[in-house]
Structure 1
């Protein structure tokens, strides 16, 4: 989900006041959507498609996976991963109020596999250079060049054959060192799944 500080371009429609987790142990749990300008949770259809892709690619095995939701917003993407039993889902969100709401929901769910980080994803990864993830999910604010800034660093944080998920305002080419696995579109949002190619030594 987008960071909430810079989202006026995302306000294509009014955000619902609540959305729900669509699968896993927390299925049907409501997620509050704060009344903040431009906040647009990833639609149910997109989340369902993404996790169908992941279930196929991982053969239904989520329990050994670590996940980074780099622009968490409502936390819909990261919480879907946690609901399906990943070992850890790290939700990074720059807006303090949104991060506080994520922490409150994590506590209410008793989701020990969720870690909420209030801050910028670039700073977070630079503070934790050894962090590695099997899946990184990027849904940054559109039109601000954030993908170009963030993608090189998150690629370094992927495990071997790690997966990168990107939502964008248009179709994008595979980042250097990756291959496109899946791509689809829902309204004005294009979403992609890339896999890291073997690193050269």
Structure 2
């Protein structure tokens, strides 16, 4: 992973955050709508006919409308509740959008392949045959080769998540649990046969 690839990762990260939230919001809306529709429909009783069979869905729909009305009134009475609701939605959308957005397209002069594939290739190289690696070790590897100067682990985490790379908050290597990446998660989200070959040799520091 050379400096051109690092530039591509940075570009993709900046554009990927907004795209991930937008994709996640659409996914979250679709999931919630489907779940509520299924829940309302499940209230119908097959052992009854006519209006009695439809009574269950009507009751459930009424409960949903009542819940929406209560939430609306509470938000108007206590405006700061909107910040909590908005924050909860944003967090849920961020998580839901992790696998929704396509890999960001890097500028032609920044890298010759997609930054997601290159980032995953780098992680596989640092992992070797181990089951997991801490982000601090990945960052140290980058900085050893003159890349990611001034970054903290949080900076690397944000960039990886923006590319759709799964980061686990409690990866235990040795006896220390902290943020890292698991080989099993990479294999599940990015099957090796779909990944591009390793981009280039790492530049010397």
Category of TM-score, reference length = shorter chain: under 0.3
| Higher relative contact order, chain-length normalized (CA < 8 Å, sep 6+) | 2
Higher CA-based Rg: 2
What TM-score do you get using the length of structure 1 for normalisation? 0.21
Greater fraction of residues in strand: 1
